[in-house]
Amino acid sequence: MDKKNQKTIFIVISQTILIRNILRSGGYNLLKQKGYKLVIFINSKKIPNYIKEEFNGSDTTLVSLYDLRVSRPHRVFIKFTHFLLWTKTTKRYFRYSKHFVDRSRFIAYLYLSFMRVVSLLGFLKPLSRWVEKTFFKEVNKEVERYFDEYNPDLVFGTSITSKMDNVFLKAGKRREIKTVAMPKSWDTVTKMYYRFIPDHFIVQNEELKKRLITLQDVKEKQITVVGFPQFDWYKKEDIIRTREEHFKKFGLDPQKPLIFFGSQGSWYDKDYKIADIIYDWVKNDELVKPTQILFRPHFSNVKNNPYMKYKGMKNAAYDDSYHISEEFRDNWDPSVEETIDFANTVAHANVVVIILSTLALDAACRDKPAINIVFGSKYRKGKDITPYMKYSNHYEWVLDTKATYVAHNKEELKKYLNNALTSPQEKAKEREMLRNKLCYKVDGKSSERMVETIDAIVRGTT
C-alpha cells in the first residue's frame, strides 16, 4: 500500500490484557504487513518506554488516554442496561458478584424481580439504544481532535463494553467511519445489553455469535468468528522449551509430574485454602505418585497474595513472571516473555487446577486434564457460595462438554487429581469437543482471520 493511498486504523486498548490478545499475539505485525497506518490509543497514565520500543514502526502512533470520564446520569443508565437481559449470567451477577454479594437477600430479591420485569418488556431494548444515541453522545474534545488530525478509515474497539471504546466507536459512527468491535472476553455477551452496536463484530467462537444474534439483536451478516488470537501462542512450537529448561526456571524436577494451580485472586479470595490442601497432599506424598505443584497468582492481587509463601518450599514453586507496570490501572501488562513462560507452563503441566476460569480453555488447547473447583473458594456471610458461581451461561458451555473434572469437595478433588495423573487421556474426547465448541480453531491463525476481516471491511469487500 503506497503512502498516497495508505489507510489509517484507530485501535482502542482499554485494558492491558488486550495488548497481549490483540497486538502481541500477531495482530500488530499482520496489520503492519498490510501497510496500514496504526494509531493505538492505550488507557494509561503515559506510554511506558518498553511499549514505545516494542511498537516502534514508522507508521505507528501510540497515544495515552487515561480514564475518560462518564457523567453520573450516564453511569446510572449504563447500570440499567444490566437489567435488560434475563440470563443465568445476569442472575448470578446480581446475587453473587463482588458488587452485590454482601447485600441482603431481600435487596437481591428486589434486583432480580426488577430485572425479570424489565427484561420481559421487549421495547426497552431498542429504546435503550435510542436513549444512548440521543442523550449520551459522549463527545470528547480530545478524542475529536485525534479524529480531525488522523482522519481514520476504520475504528477498531477491542472491548465493546469499555467506556473508552464506546467513545471512539460513537465518534466514528457520527463521522460515517467504519466501526468494528470485539467482546474483550467470552462472558460479556450474556452479561449486559450492549448500548452501542458497531458496523461489524469480530467474535471468538460460535456460541458468542449465537448470543449476539439472540440476545444483542445483531444481524448474522454483521458477525465474523475468528477464534481467540491469544491462543495462537499454543501453536508456536518454536517457543516451547524443553521440560528440563522450563522447570529449571522454577527449581522444579522435570522427572516429576506437575500440578499447575491458577488462582482467581480477588474473584475467589479464599482459593488459597484449596491450594493449601493440595500442597499438603503433595508434601506428605498422599497422591497416587510423587508430584510437585506450581502456583500462579492472579493479577488482581499479584502484589500481595498468599502464594508467595511457597517460594523455595519443597516440591512447590511460585510463578513470579507477572510483568508489573505502574502506568496502567490494573498494574499488569503481560509481556511477550511472560506469555511465553505461561504457554510453556501449560504445555508441560500434567494437570491444571482452576476455579471456573478461562484456564479451562487454555488447558484444552494443549489437551491437558483440568479440574474445576466448586467449593471452599468464595464465601458470603460464612456460607460457601462457590458452588453457585458455576451457574453462568458462558461457563455452562464449558461444563456441558464434561471436558473438565468438577470437584465439589476434598475427596473428589483428590480422586480427580489421581485420575489425571494416572490416566491423562481419560477426557481427551471431551476436551476435543470443548476446543471445537469454544476455541473455534486452535490452528495458530486466529490473529490472521481477525486481520483479514478488518482488511476486508476497510476495502469494502465484506
State the SS3 of 107-121: HHHHHHHHHHHHHHC
At residue 4, does pLDDT exceed 80?
no
- 60, 38 Cβ separation under 8 angstroms: yes
Give the pLDDT score at 203.
Answer: 98
How confident is the model over 360-383, as a mean pLDDT? 95
Look at residue 302 in the predicted model and tell me its pLDDT: 67
**Which CATH number characterizes residue 332's domain?**
3.40.50.2000
Overall average pLDDT of the 310-319 stretch: 92
Neighbours of 61 (CB within 10 A): 16
Contacts of 317 (CB under 8 A, 6+ apart): 250, 251, 252, 292, 293, 294, 295, 310, 311
**3-class DSSP assignment, residue 134:** helix
Q: What is the mean pLDDT of residues 242-268?
A: 95
Pair 266, 410 in one domain? yes
- With pLDDT > 90 as the criterion, what percentage of the chain qualifies? 83
- 203 lies in the same domain as 336: no
> What's the mean per-residue pLDDT of the chain?
94
In a domain, 133, yes or no: no
pLDDT by residue (tens digit) across 76-108? Answer: 999 899 899 999 999 988 888 777 777 888 888
Let me know: does 439 contact 231? Beta carbons within 8 Å. yes
Q: What is the mean pLDDT of residues 424-433?
A: 98
1 pLDDT tier (thresholds 50, 70, 90) = low
**Selection from 323, 326, 316 nearest residue 290 by Cα:** 316
223 within some domain: yes
Could you say which of 109, 128, 147 is where a domain stops?
Answer: 128
Could you list the residue range(s) of the whole structural domain that residue 146 is in? 3-69+138-230+444-459
Does residue 375 sit in the same domain as residue 303? yes
CA distances from 360 to 70, 399, 431 (A): 35, 10, 9
Give yes or no: residues 38 and 154 share one domain.
yes
* pLDDT on residue 267: 86
Are residues 299 and 315 located together in one domain of the fold? yes
Dist CA 253 CA 242 (whole Å) = 13
Counting every residue written for the chain, the total comes to 462
Assess whether pLDDT exceeds 90 at residue 259: yes
C-alpha cell, 264: 482467581
Q: Are 224 and 266 part of one and the same domain?
A: no
Asked if residue 179 lies in contact with residue 166, where contact means CB atoms within 8 angstroms, the answer is: no
- Report whether pLDDT(68) > 80: yes
Q: Let me know if residue 320 belongs to a domain.
A: yes
Instruction: Look at residue 280 and tell me whether its pLDDT is greater than 90.
Output: yes
pLDDT value of position 105:
82
312 or 278: which leads in pLDDT: 278
Give the CA diameter of the chain: 69
Residues 6+ apart with CB under 8 A from 413: 274, 277, 278, 371, 373, 407
Q: d(Cα 291, Cα 256) in Å, to the nearest integer?
A: 5
The pLDDT, as a whole number, for residue 2 is 64
Give the cell for residue 446: 486466529
pLDDT score for 245: 97
Same-domain status, 256 and 318: yes
Tell me the pLDDT tens digit for each residue of 35-61: 999 999 999 989 999 999 999 988 999
Asked if the model's pLDDT at residue 139 lies above 80, the reply is yes
In total, how many domains does the chain have? 3
323 with 350, same domain: the answer is yes
38: left (phi over 0), alpha (psi -120 to 50) or beta: beta
Residue 453 lies in a domain: yes
Question: Which of 257, 278, 270, 273 lies closest to 415, judged by CA?
Answer: 278
Distance CA 444, CA 230 (A): 9
Pair 350, 277 in one domain: yes
Residue 189: which of 355, 11, 393, 14 has the closest Cα? 393
Check pLDDT > 90 for residue 300. no
For residue 176, what are the contacts with CB-CB under 8 A and spacing of at least 6?
none
The region of weakest confidence among 301-305, 313-317, 417-421 is: 301-305
Rounded to whole angstroms, how far apart are CA atoms 268 and 264? 5
Q: Residue 449 carries which DSSP code?
A: H
Read off the pLDDT of each residue in 166-170 and give the average, rounded to a whole number: 98
CB atoms within 10 A of CB 249: 14
One-character DSSP codes across 193-227: --S---SEEEESSHHHHHHHHHTS---GGGEEE--
Q: Do 286 and 364 belong to one domain? A: yes
* pLDDT of residue 187 exceeding 70: yes
Give yes or no for a contact between 387 and 379, defined as CB atoms under 8 angstroms apart.
Answer: no
Residue 51 confidence (pLDDT): 95
Residues 427, 283, single domain; the answer is yes
Q: What is the arithmetic mean of pLDDT over 273-302?
A: 93
User: Has residue 331 been placed in a domain?
Assistant: yes
Q: Does the residue 118 lie in any domain?
A: yes
The pLDDT of 407-434, averaged and rounded, is: 98
Instruction: Provide, rounded to the nearest whole percent, the portion of the chain with pLDDT above 70.
Output: 99
Q: Are residues 206 and 118 in the same domain?
A: no
